[in-house]
Structure 1
């Protein structure tokens, strides 16, 4: 199982990034079944809002990054209890790499 934890600041997180995660979470059992069928593995995603550096309940590896770099280190992507990326990075590229899938999104203009 691939355990993915995404720590982000609700004030500065982009709506697109949250929609990417929402699409995986909303796919539910069907998404898991398809992923397991093609990759012979499963994944679990947990999103966590971070509002301060010393927030309780954060893993030590995330606290260490936030203590050293402050809130600007967010978002932090942790995969299987190891920091995979933090700060400014392409979430789509990271998800594609971690889950070994192709991913595309469409953004509707208002």
Structure 2
């Protein structure tokens, strides 16, 4: 079976290497469409609760450092709201583990 596929994906925060000049032979194709971070409720919750305003990236994701700390002390972000490069369950789980470890270390060290 031959399948012709034309697919254009625009992700403003991620510029992959030029793959357009290559040909791939695959039996399966998996992709996501229409993905945007859903952070509106989180922002509103923090602002209404007096926690503070959380900083976002230009693309609308929650901004974090390498340890997944946000701009608000002891608030961490992981998964779909913070991941701009590889939005997937596996990455979200790994980020959750990193955030948990970061929280543990910050609490133990009095950060």
Q: Same-fold call, TM > 0.5?
A: no
Higher strand share: 1
TM-score by length of 1: 0.23
Higher helix share: 1
The structure with higher relative contact order (CA 8 Å, sep 6+) is 1
